Every structure is written in C-alpha cells, then in structure tokens.
Structure 1
Amino acid sequence: MPTGPAATAPRGDLWRFAALSGVYFAFIGYFNPYLPLWLSELGFGAFTIGALVAVQSATRVVAPYAWAWVADHTGRRIRLLRIASTAACLCGAGLLPTPGWIAPHAGYVGLVLFLMFMNTSAMMPMAEAALAQRVSTERGLDVGRYGRIRVWGSIGFIVTVVAFGFWFDRMGLRWFAPGVVLILFALVLACRQLPADKAADEGAPAAPPLRPVLAQRPVRWFFASAFFMVLAHMSLYAFFSLHLDALGYGRDAVGLLWAVSVVAEIGWFLVQGRWIGHGTLERWLAFACAVAALRFAATAAFGASLTVMLLAQAAHAITFAAHHSVCMAWITRHFPGRLRARGQALYTVLGYGLPGVLGGVAGGALSEAAGYAAVFWAAAAAGALAALAAWRVGQAAHKALSATES
C-alpha cells in the first residue's frame, strides 16, 4: 500500500470527515444492537424482527447506487450528504409515536425505517468516495491515513453501544425512538461542517461508463466474496444480541461484548498502515474471510462461554476492520476518479444490500425453526464461501497480470 507522499487535503478537512464518521457509526452502533431488542419489546416475533432489520439492507439495494450516480455525474457529494442527513432526521422522527400514540404495527415501523434508511444507506458510499479522494496518492489509498480517520467511526460506535447498553438496562427501551432523532440531528450537524465540494470535481470530464470495469473477472469475484462475507456478518448485526439474550446474558453484558469487538477494530485501524503492506490485498481478503468462518463457528458452538465470546468478538479486528480497509483500497484501485462513488455504491449494494436482505429474512426463519445457534453455523459456511471467492480474486488478478505482461 502507499507509503509515498500523501494527498494534500488540509488537516481541518480530514477532522471534519472524522467527525462525520464518528456520528454516522454512532448511529450504526445505536441500531445494530438495540433495534432488534426494541422490536422484541414491541412484541414482534423473530421472523418479523429479521424482516424489519433487513429493511436497512433492502434500501442498500437501491439507494446507494442511485445517489452515487448523481454524485459521480455532478461532483456534488457533500451537498448530497447534507440533503440525505436532513431527510433521514425528518423521517426518523416517525418512530416517536410508537408505541405511545400509534400501536406497534410491522407495516408502520417498516415504512418509517424504509424512508429513513433510504437516506442513511446512501451516505457512507458518498462519504467514503469523498474521503478516499483526499487521502489517496498516485499509488492508491493511503491506508494508514484512512485508518486514523475511520477509527473515529469505531470510537463513536463503541461509546454509543456501551452508553446506551447501560442506559437501556436501567431505564428501559422506551427511550429508543427519542435517541434515534437525537443521533440523526447530530448527523445533520456533522454534514453541515464538511468542506465544500471541490471545484475540480465540478469541472471534470463526464463520468466514464462502469461496464468495462465490471467485465473484469477479479472485480466479479471480489463482489462475490463481499456478498458472502457480509451475509455471514448479518448473523452478527441482526441476531447476535438476541442470541446472547437467549443464552442469559444481561443487556450490559451484550453492550460490553459489542464494545470488545469495536475496541479490537480501533486498535487495528490505528496500526493497519504497518501491516497491510506486508501482503497483497487479495491475500488479506482471503485471510479475513477465513477468520470470519472460524469466528462464527465458535459463536455457534460455544456461545455460552464468555471467554470464547470475548475471543470471537476480538476477531472483529480482522473480519471487519482489516477486511473493510482492504476493500476500500481495492475499490480505490479499480474504481478511480469519477467511478469512485459508483464503485463504493456497488460495494454497498452487492456487499451489504442483497446479502443483508437474504440474511435478515432467512436468518429470522432459520432462528425460529432451529434456534439462533443454527444462524451462526450458516454464517460460518458463508464465511468459508467468501474465503473461496477471495482466493479466486487473487487467481484472476494473477492471470490478468500474466496476460498483460505476455
């Protein structure tokens, strides 16, 4: 990975992106562990909870690419981020009347979540594209610099998970909806502080077509690997809290186990610049996916063991943090310039949208039929398939390089 001269973005601009990352992932840290528990308290069953959690993934099938197409063709990524955050805050306020004034109904809650996530799901692909532009060199993404900014997302996540874990354990989940509005309002403020869109973006040549990039075999295998990797992690996002709850863990313990995973990823983001350069991106992808298969198998088999759960959650440093940064570097390499937002969006759609829908709905059905452990066994199998696809990425890349040299 790049070790040469870094991009010359002003330090103040990068701190604003760090603030956005912190608030956005505070939002994710609020929803991932506690939305399923709130839905359970409203009286919904496991299948309905899985379907409602999958709403976010469903919006990731459509929203990211639609917004990214506009971003790449207009160069106005920051303005679009401001619009999306404001719309999300207004839509999120729709959760406030439930259950006090509006009786819990899957249709109503699902509609509010859909409208809100149609905006938030599009934000990180545009933000990642804008950030990558500022921390890339002629050799690609500067993963060391990227990690020092992205780590603030992990910090925002862990503070939210731990703080609200203790809060909800003592005060109850009736405060969930007001917390949604509070965090989304903070997201609006963070987007307002971002630097204006660069004039170079606005005056650049027309955005190139995407089809020639997607015709490359390594690119297709990369998205296949991302699909199975996130499918595996949907067990974590949708059912980990419920799995722990069923095993008798308290909500403070649930929050702390989530926090362990984020502490691990924080550590990785801070030091990744020293490590990722010691192997190819393709080998890192395969390694991270193989670790994920082992992690979820351990969660399925030894979920009642706090020691094993601590180790499994610590593996998040590799299965999420390392994998995420390697994917960002890989996308930056293969989707440069005005392809960047669409490349990020495709990663969100194919890596998070489609497998998220499948994982949420199928996981809900599987958990009702065979229990939560079965969901994590399925996740382990998906991780193994992700590792196989990542290995094929390396093979295809090697063949493409050999053909070019010959």
Structure 2
Amino acid sequence: MALLSQKPQSNLNLLLISLTYLLYFGQLGVLVPYLGVFLDGRGFTSEQIGELFALITVARILGPNLWASMADKSGKGLGILRLGSLLTFGTFCLVFVVDSFWGLTLGFALMMMFWTAILPQLEVLTLNCVDSDATRYSRIRLWGSIGFIILTVIAGKAIDMFSSEAPIYVSAGVLAVLFISTLLINEPQAKPAKDKNTGSIWHKAKTPTFLMFILSAILLQVSFGTYYGFFALYARDLGYSGQATGFFIGLGVAAEIVIFLLAGRLISIFGIKWILVISIFLTALRWLLLGTVAEFLWVIIISQLLHAFSFGMTHAASVKFIHHYFGKAFQSRGQALYISIGFGVGGAIGNYISGQLWLQGAGSQQAFLFSAVIALISMLSLLLVRSKNMSASA
C-alpha cells in the first residue's frame, strides 16, 4: 500500500512515477559514465574494467526474468519494484567496505541483480497508468532523462572537487531516495488478461519477428560497450574536465528529452521498424565520428546529440513493440526478456570486447570502429522483418 493515498491515474501518482524515473535514471547518470573513472582511480587496468563491467552485466540476464515471472504470477509488480529498490541500496553499500577486484565485482553484481527488478515493473506500471498512450508515456519517461542530466553534471563536478570516489557517495544517496519514492506510488488494480494465456511466453518469443528484434537489440547494446565503459576516460584523455564530461553527457540526454516528447507521434508516422532502422544507422554514424575525429569539439557535440536516436528513439520504440507484442498476459516477462537478453547479453559482450580493445586508450579508435560495424549489423537484421509484423497491433 502506498504511503500516500491517490488514484493510480491521478496527477499526483503520475508525478511520483516521474520522480521515480528521475531517480532511477539519475543513478545511471552517475554510474554509467563514471564507474570506469572510479575503478581507474582504484588502480584497475582497462582490461580489468572491461571484465568487471562484463561480469556484473551478466546479472542482467537472469535477474529480470526471475523478477518478472514473480510479478506476473503474483500480480504484485509494485511490491517487486519496492523490494528491488531496497535490496539494490543495501548491496550497493558493500562498495564502501571492499576494495579488491572480486569483492567489487561481487558487490556490483548483487546490486545489478536486484536493480533489474526495477525498470521492467516501472515500465509496466507506467504504461498501465496511462492506458498504453505512447505520448503520455514519453512525457513521463523524459523525467528519467532529466534526472540523468542533473546527476551526471553533479557527479562530474564532484569528481573535480573531491576525487574519483565521489560517484559512489552520490549513488548511495540517490538509491536511498529512490526506495523512498517507490513507497509513495500506487498501481492500477489488476485486470484479467484478455489474451488467452497458453502458460508459456515462448510461443511469442520464438517467432522470427521477435528473434530478429532481439538480435538487433543485442547487437545494439554490444555497440554501446565502448561508450558506456570508456567515454568518460576518453574525454579525460582528450583533455576535458569531469565537469565538461558531465555537460557532454548531459547534452546527449537533453537531446533525448526532446525526442521523447516527439516519440509517440514519430512512431505513429513512421512505424516501429523504420524508427529503429533509422535510429540505429545514426548510432553507427555516432561511433564512427567518435572513433575517427573526436579531437574536434563540434564532433563530440554532434555525436552526443545523436544520443537522442541511439537511446531515446530506440528505447521508446522497443518498449512500445514489446508491450503490445506480448500483451497483458506476458507484459512483465516480455519487458524482462528485452532487458535481460538485449541489455544483459549484449552489454556483457560489448563491455568485455571494448575492454580488450581499449588498451589504456591506445586502442580507442579500434574500439569505436568495432562499435560502428556492430551497429550497422544490428540495423541490417531489422531490415529482414516486415514492417507490419512490428506494428503496435502485432
């Protein structure tokens, strides 16, 4: 039961859900850009950083499906969301008492396992509260982007003012407030699913349409490995301060906010397939620019503006596709499959390979060119799918 009593569709509840998105993605705005800086400050090599990122990302493979299965069977998605938030905060705090490679890997892996309980349930809750309205969903989801910007800039400035340890203190505070925010929100009363449930999600997941979609999602996340793992270190090597890096990342997410406001309309005009194809092509262009001419400030600015398509449009279109493709009977597990396989498998592979290619910065060009090629393959895999098979009514 929520600590504040309000209807799930009320403006207050939607505001609280927006706050939860702000905090969730704000936390990502601290750890995604700066975890590599934190680990580098503790003396880890680029190979170790890549391996640690890959190992903790593996937790995203099994975690979402476990939590989503519990949510679908129990009908208590909000309870799973709250439990995941609490356990994430508790396990993250292990970082203050361990310092070894395997100690930190275990701490972050446990945190990631519980972290995966949050987003799929939050997505389902939000879409149910707005009756699957893509425009209203995008307006709520953009608060996650705002949170990402705010916390990225704060953490970058904190690194300049204090040390590379600053991100973990910022993260601990954000996670504590995130748990509190989940106690305040409410969810719609569960309704019987209109779809006849055959008892297994695999009758939908094993279709050619979904298999090509998830292959594309995996490859897209593989391509992100270099950016997520090493962009902050790359910017530092190019001579930019932590605060400047924070502004670069914030610029990308600001562009993402704009695209989220337009996402619902663009998806209805172009369709899910072509939104994904165009966005992933622009992602490949983004990695190519970073790998070849990143010494120019204008190149970094353009590449960050392309984040609107690399993440913003691909995420909005993918969530829309999953929500309708699997229907109410399997919506939590469908979102979990997307998160666990796409982000988990793809992220782990991308983090490991980029760590091997980076070579303390000497292999930065090769790493980004690898990402560009992988993104192109991701785009090509979607061209094999018929547009009508990826429509919202599929």
> Same fold judged by TM-score > 0.5?
yes
Matches within 5 A, 1:276-315: 276-315=267-306
Does structure 1 retain, via aligned residues, the 8 Å contact 2:129–2:187? no
1:302 and 1:248 map into 2 onto residues whose CA distance is 15
Structure 1 residue matching 2:240: 3-state secondary structure: coil
Matches within 5 A, 1:4-403: 9-97=9-97, 102=98, 104-136=99-131, 141-196=132-187, 198-200=189-191, 208-368=199-359, 371-394=363-386, 397=389
Please list the CA deviations of residues 325-378 of structure 1 after superposition, one character each: whole Å capped at 9, or x if unmatched: 110111112011020011100001121000111111111011128512211111
2:221 and 2:66 map into 1 onto residues whose CA distance is 21
Shift of 1:261: 0.3
Shift of 1:14: 1.7
For structure 1, the residue ranges without an aligned partner over 5 or more in a row are 1-7
CA 10–117 in structure 1, closer or farther in 2 if over 3 Å, else same: same
Amino acid at match of 2:345: L
Please list the CA deviations of residues 20-68 of structure 1 after superposition, one character each: whole Å capped at 9, or x if unmatched: 1010001100101111100000000001111222244211111001100
Q: How many residues align?
A: 384
1:351 and 1:396 map into 2 onto residues whose CA distance is 22
1:228 and 1:379 map into 2 onto residues whose CA distance is 9
CA 190–56 in structure 1, closer or farther in 2 if over 3 Å, else same: farther
CA 203–186 in structure 1, closer or farther in 2 if over 3 Å, else same: farther
Amino acid at match of 1:123: I
2:209 and 2:143 map into 1 onto residues whose CA distance is 31
2:164 and 2:33 map into 1 onto residues whose CA distance is 12
1:227 and 1:320 map into 2 onto residues whose CA distance is 13
1:65 and 1:382 map into 2 onto residues whose CA distance is 26
Alignment root-mean-square deviation, CA: 2.2
1:201 and 1:35 map into 2 onto residues whose CA distance is 43
Runs of 4+ in 1 over 6 A off after TM superposition: 201-207
1:244 and 1:308 map into 2 onto residues whose CA distance is 12
Shift of 1:234: 1.9
Amino acid at match of 1:390: L
Please list the CA deviations of residues 159-180 of structure 1 after superposition, one character each: whole Å capped at 9, or x if unmatched: 0001111121111123333222
2:88 and 2:176 map into 1 onto residues whose CA distance is 9
Structure 2 residue matching 1:308: 3-state secondary structure: helix
Amino acid at match of 1:119: F
Does structure 1 retain, via aligned residues, the 8 Å contact 2:256–2:308? yes
Shift of 1:130: 1.6
Structure 1 residue matching 2:294: 3-state secondary structure: coil
For structure 2, the residue ranges without an aligned partner over 5 or more in a row are 1-7
CA 201–178 in structure 1, closer or farther in 2 if over 3 Å, else same: farther
Structure 1 vs Structure 2: percent identity of aligned residues? Answer: 27
Amino acid at match of 2:130: V
Does structure 1 retain, via aligned residues, the 8 Å contact 2:129–2:188? no
Structure 2 residue matching 1:194: 3-state secondary structure: coil
Does structure 2 retain, via aligned residues, the 8 Å contact 1:60–1:122? no
2:177 and 2:157 map into 1 onto residues whose CA distance is 21
Shift of 1:205: 8.2
TM-score when normalising by structure 2: 0.92
Amino acid at match of 2:287: F
Shift of 1:258: 0.4
Does structure 2 retain, via aligned residues, the 8 Å contact 1:244–1:303? no
